[in-house]
Amino acid sequence: MTSHDAFRAAMARVPGPVAVATTIDAAGRRWGFTASSFTSLSLEPPLVMVCLGKAASTHAAFTGTGAFLINVLAVDQEGVARQFARSGVDRFTGGDMVPCELGLPGLPGAAARVACDLHTVADGGDHSILIGRVTATFTGAAEPLVYYERTFTRPAAMMRVPG
């Protein structure tokens, strides 16, 4: 296996959340993309990060925005993940998104939503790392969708420890 293939295989073994990042540009156009590289970065100040390919059609909108919203998808929102991962289509045609935190497009049934002001854009090789300062959050009751071994799945059930 080449080092590139070995790296991809190793990263496929790391489960990640499935999120859809959304924003609105200065002209009022909605933008969004599916990401599995979303994580917390800092508690004080509250920062999160999400990665976006530099060649993505959404790159200029997100790196030039003042704010974005991360929708952590629920297990029943795999279709939304697939829609926002497609290129060359209006990703918002499904009608799933409504104005949520900061007035940004959000999913009412999301497992969580994290609204951010764009704090920093850092270089990450062929990706940009969008670092957002958290301004508002929503925590839903739904179980989150997970990406593992290049497929969508649900997290393993939590085991309770007798106490």
pLDDT tens-digit map of 94-141? 888 999 999 999 999 999 999 999 999 999 999 999 999 999 999 999
Structure tokens that stand for 18 in this block: 């499935």
Residue 41 lies in a domain: yes
Whether 110 and 71 have beta carbons less than 8 Å apart is answered as yes
Which residue stretches of the chain have pLDDT < 50?
A: 158-161
Task: Provide the domain limits for residue 108.
Answer: 24-147
Residue 159 lies in a domain: no
Q: Residue 4's pLDDT is what? A: 82
Residue 16 lies in a domain: no
pTM beyond 0.85: the answer is yes
CATH number at residue 62: 2.30.110.10
What gap in Å lies between CA 40 and CA 49, rounded to an integer?
6
Total number of domains constituting the chain: 1
